[in-house]
Structure 1
Amino acid sequence: TLKAVAWLTGLDKMTVKSIHKSLLLSKFTTDGKTLIKPERQAKYLAIDEFKLHDGHKYATATIDWETGYILYLAHGKKKAVVFEFMDHVGDEWMSKVEAVACDMNSDFEEAFKGRYP
């Protein structure tokens, strides 16, 4: 946790958070805003939403089923999140995906089947 790293290093928790955020932005974005497309092609995807904080807000994670790597993480739990992911990786990348695992969220299923039957 940030708190544990702050305690171990003697730095303020917000300083550790700032360093971590800078590292993540440099590693996973091109200009601090635009996400980099996944380096590796995934054949199998898994997608699920989870509650943030007090349970009134959600985020959705899309992962490579074989490696467990997070490919995309976004606020929300609707079709729009799935469409954003598909637009991010592109048609060529998605054409090589063989299967998608998701729970009972019908929005996810409809989005994938609608664009890539």
Structure 2
Amino acid sequence: MKFDGRKASRVRMDNRQPVNLMGSDGTWRRSCVLLDISNTGAKIEVEGSLDVLSAKEFFMLLSSTGLAYRRCELVWSTEPRLASTLSKQMARRPKRQRATEARTSQPERAVLSK
């Protein structure tokens, strides 16, 4: 559903969706509530101070174990809320292409003659 004149369709959370923000270097973590999300961005309510967001890049951990996450960049913040852009997922190369690249990127060994 599009609202607020957004380019991408956003999903507004009816129930509290707990997420965590974590610094890209892993030195800090904040508990949050996800308010809405799209393919390109998210709006989050942070529990605690936003002073750690001076680097403007962080991870949004979508699972308690941290296995589901998105890399984010801060767009705006007004305590306790912030908005971020979500980085695009990198396309994976097929296994065959990765194997070929690995073989061709290995340094050649010099043959010593006696």
Please state which band the TM-score falls in when normalised by the shorter chain: under 0.3
Structure 1-normalised TM-score? 0.27
Structure 2-normalised TM-score? 0.27
Q: Which has the higher helix share?
A: 1
**Which is higher, the Rg of structure 1 or of structure 2?**
2
Q: Which has the higher strand share?
A: 2
